[in-house]
């Protein structure tokens, strides 16, 4: 098709060139135009062009299809390449697995090697410690030898000086005696010179005639003018007294009784202090504070004096509330006739309790500072603490009062009171069986909490606590529940677990069950006897005078605790019965027989007075007996420490 078109164009070109080359004027006769043929040719060209256009569109469509197929082929090739790569990696997996296994094996070997190295390092450290210990022993031996040499030199020098001084003193003494003898000889010669001359000349000395009125006196006839009673008193006053016996009137010495037997004293001689304090508050707050306070305490103050001063602060607080709120009614809204306690009394109570707590905390540190630590200080401290344990709940009861509206009645307070005493007693019961004193966590929180509550009460008054919490729980009931729950969670289980652990590990005294629970018998008897009195009282003694009944319970409890403390410190068998139970039971029986409210109240007061005197006598005699045994003073620091 293109060849024919090319030939026609070439023919037209030649024709045009032919006419251009001919310059002669020619009169041309236009040829006849065949329009029909041109139209046909044009139509032919248009058809060809249309065919070409359709062919191009078809080619473009085919090209798109080819491109799509190429993309699909590329995807298939990529997928095939991925499969090929996967197959290739899978083919190399076995080798990789073996390499991983080899690596794990090497890691295990390296770990074992590290363990061996670590064990070797530990052995090396032990060896270094042994070497260091041997070196320390050698250094100490060298120091000891050097010390011995210095002391021997000092002793030799002292001996030489003493010998020299002795020779000088002997020479001086001989000279003085010689001089005295010379003087006496001279006096003798002067006095008897005449007699000697007579004796030399006559051979005898004439007898001197005495007057008739003067009779010769012989030694047996000489009478001394003295009073035998005055002489005995002189020897008594000038005789040396042991520590703990100075300046004691004779009538008080007649009341002296030695409660401690020789086995107790032998146990105290072998006693070693063993105490563990794991309380968070005491370790991180109170002990750093006490370490700071004790630095300002003079070293000539005895630790027992600090302990007794703290106890007297507690006594002062208790007496203040006793005189100002004897019946626990000042904070009770059910007794509007009784005025509220002044706010200064609460501030004073907070101050006294803070001083008592601080002095009780620094007494042991003062003992270690002054080198006076010993069993007497621990017994004195814990004995006074046992009395304090019975005074604190009564002071706390004055904040909320005895009414049931915002507090608890006296009967329920009795069980709260017993709970506090049991918590204190269990620590010493625990030490009686384990040999270790585990200080309870609750003590520090209780003391700090009471100080804060007293201080807040001083700011807002006791009315500040008279409201009900959600559920109708008052603050008094909340304190009651807190004491019970904290005891059952933080104290009782830990005590019995430590006792069980001591039996399991065989670190305690390994007593039989009957001997292990022996200290609990007087404690339970004390509570049962007082509870029996409450139920059998003809005048409802717990409501009539709860303070006196609580005081009686606390006094007997303190005496029981002191005897248990003596037993556990001396490693002796404790008593299962306390003689104070006898007058208490007699008073209950007399009250039940007579049914006299007045007599019952008088019997209660008599028991409070009698048990207090007996307990003070017991504590005083025990302390004095220990002072005599250890040759120390209780409230002063002597040359010899505990």
How far apart, in whole angstroms, are the C-alpha atoms of residue 155 and residue 149?
Answer: 10
pLDDT exceeds cutoff 60 at 497: yes
Collapsing DSSP to helix, strand or coil, 468 comes out as: strand
pLDDT exceeds cutoff 90 at 335: no
Collapsing DSSP to helix, strand or coil, 421 comes out as: helix
Residue 328 · residue 402 · CB < 8 Å: yes
pLDDT exceeds cutoff 90 at 9: no
Collapsing DSSP to helix, strand or coil, 569 comes out as: helix
- The maximal CA–CA distance of the chain, rounded, in angstroms, is 235
- The pLDDT value given to residue 219: 43
Give 567-615 pLDDT, tens digit per residue: 999 989 999 999 999 999 999 999 999 999 999 999 999 999 999 999 9
Collapsing DSSP to helix, strand or coil, 275 comes out as: strand
- The stretch 459-485 carries a mean pLDDT of 84
- The stretch 115-121 carries a mean pLDDT of 86
Residue 559 · residue 614 · CB < 8 Å: yes
How far apart, in whole angstroms, are the C-alpha atoms of residue 451 and residue 453?
Answer: 6
- The pLDDT value given to residue 3: 55
Residue with tokens 């303070």: 547
Q: Name the least confident of 95-99, 133-137, 208-212.
A: 208-212
pLDDT exceeds cutoff 80 at 534: yes
Global pTM value? 0.62
- The pLDDT value given to residue 200: 61
pLDDT exceeds cutoff 80 at 484: yes
Give 611-640 pLDDT, tens digit per residue: 999 999 999 999 999 999 998 899 988 754
Q: Which of 431, 427, 453, 430 is nearest to 441 (CA)?
A: 427
Collapsing DSSP to helix, strand or coil, 438 comes out as: strand
Q: Give the sign of the dihedral formed by CA 278, CA 279, CA 284, CA 285.
A: negative
Give 278-289 pLDDT, tens digit per residue: 788 888 899 999
Angular region, 190: left φ>0, alpha ψ -120 to 50, beta rest: alpha
Residue, of 10 and 342, whose pLDDT is higher? 342
- The pLDDT value given to residue 492: 87
Q: Which of 341, 561, 532, 369 is nearest to 454 (CA)?
A: 341
Which run of H or E residues covers position 6?
Answer: helix 2-21
- Return the top range by mean pLDDT from 24-38, 44-58, 627-641: 44-58
The whole-chain average pLDDT of the chain stands at 82
pLDDT exceeds cutoff 80 at 243: no
List of residues 6+ apart from 329 with CB closer than 8 A: 335, 338, 401, 402, 403
- The pLDDT value given to residue 321: 94
Residue with tokens 């104290």: 491
How far apart, in whole angstroms, are the C-alpha atoms of residue 618 and residue 616?
Answer: 5
How far apart, in whole angstroms, are the C-alpha atoms of residue 269 and residue 470?
Answer: 57
How far apart, in whole angstroms, are the C-alpha atoms of residue 409 and residue 195?
Answer: 108
For the chain, which residues make up each domain, given as ranges?
263-630
């Amino acid at each position: 098709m293109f060849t024919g078109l090319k030939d026609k164009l070439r023919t037209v070109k030649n024709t045009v060139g032919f006419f251009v080359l001919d310059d002669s004027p020619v009169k041309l006769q236009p040829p006849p135009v065949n329009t029909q043929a041109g139209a046909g040719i044009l139509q032919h060209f248009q058809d060809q062009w249309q065919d070409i256009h359709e062919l191009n569109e078809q080619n473009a469509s085919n090209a798109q299809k080819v491109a799509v197929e190429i993309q699909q082929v590329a995807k298939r090739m990529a997928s095939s390449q991925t499969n090929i790569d996967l197959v290739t990696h899978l083919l190399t997996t076995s080798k990789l697995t073996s390499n991983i296994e080899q690596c794990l094996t090497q890691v295990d070997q390296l770990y074992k090697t590290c363990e061996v190295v670590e064990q070797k390092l530990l052995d090396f450290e032990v060896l270094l410690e042994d070497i260091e210990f041997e070196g320390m022993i050698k250094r100490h031996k060298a120091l000891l030898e050097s010390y011995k040499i210095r002391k021997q030199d000092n002793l030799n020098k002292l001996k030489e000086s003493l010998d020299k001084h002795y020779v000088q003193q002997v020479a001086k003494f001989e000279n003085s005696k010689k001089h005295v003898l010379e003087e006496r000889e001279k006096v003798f010669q002067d006095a008897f010179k005449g007699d000697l001359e007579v004796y030399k000349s006559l051979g005898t000395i004439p007898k001197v005639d005495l007057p008739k009125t003067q009779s010769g006196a012989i030694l047996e006839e000489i009478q001394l003018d003295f009073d035998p009673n005055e002489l005995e008193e002189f020897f008594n006053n000038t005789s040396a007294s042991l520590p703990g016996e100075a300046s004691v009137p004779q009538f008080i010495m007649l009341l002296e009784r030695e409660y401690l037997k020789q086995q107790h004293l032998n146990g105290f001689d072998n006693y070693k202090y063993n105490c563990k304090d794991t309380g968070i508050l005491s370790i991180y707050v109170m002990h750093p504070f006490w370490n700071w306070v004790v630095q300002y305490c003079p070293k000539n103050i005895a630790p027992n004096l600090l302990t007794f001063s703290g106890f007297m602060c507690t006594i002062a607080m208790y007496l203040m509330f006793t005189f100002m709120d004897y019946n626990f009614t000042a904070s009770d809204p059910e007794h509007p006739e009784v005025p509220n306690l002044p706010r200064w009394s609460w501030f004073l109570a907070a101050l006294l309790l803070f001083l008592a707590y601080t002095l009780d905390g620094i007494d042991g540190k003062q003992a270690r500072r002054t080198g006076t630590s010993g069993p007497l200080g621990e017994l004195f401290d814990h004995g006074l603490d046992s009395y304090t344990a019975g005074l604190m709940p009564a002071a706390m009861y004055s904040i909320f009062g005895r009414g049931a509206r915002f507090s608890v009645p006296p009967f329920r307070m009795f069980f709260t009171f017993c709970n506090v005493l049991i918590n204190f007693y269990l620590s010493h019961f625990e030490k009686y069986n384990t040999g270790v004193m585990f200080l309870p966590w609750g003590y520090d929180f209780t003391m700090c909490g009471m100080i804060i509550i007293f201080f807040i009460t001083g700011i807002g008054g006791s009315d500040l606590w008279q409201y009900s919490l959600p559920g109708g729980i008052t603050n008094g009931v909340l304190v009651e529940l807190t004491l019970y729950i904290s005891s059952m969670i933080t104290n009782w289980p830990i005590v019995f677990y430590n006792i069980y652990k001591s039996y399991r590990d065989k670190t305690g005294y390994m007593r039989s069950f009957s001997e292990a629970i022996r200290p609990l018998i007087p404690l339970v008897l004390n509570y049962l006897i007082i509870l029996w009195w409450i139920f059998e009282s003809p005048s409802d003694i717990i409501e009539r005078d709860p303070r006196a009944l609580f005081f009686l319970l606390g006094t007997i409890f303190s005496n029981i605790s002191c005897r248990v403390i003596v037993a556990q410190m001396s490693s002796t068998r404790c008593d299962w019965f306390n003689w104070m139970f006898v007058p208490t039971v007699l008073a209950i029986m007399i009250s039940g027989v007579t049914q006299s409210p007045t007599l019952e109240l008088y019997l209660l007061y008599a028991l409070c007075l009698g048990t207090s005197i007996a307990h003070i006598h017991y504590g005083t005699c025990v302390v004095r007996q220990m002072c005599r045994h250890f040759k120390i003073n209780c409230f002063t620091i002597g040359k010899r420490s505990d």
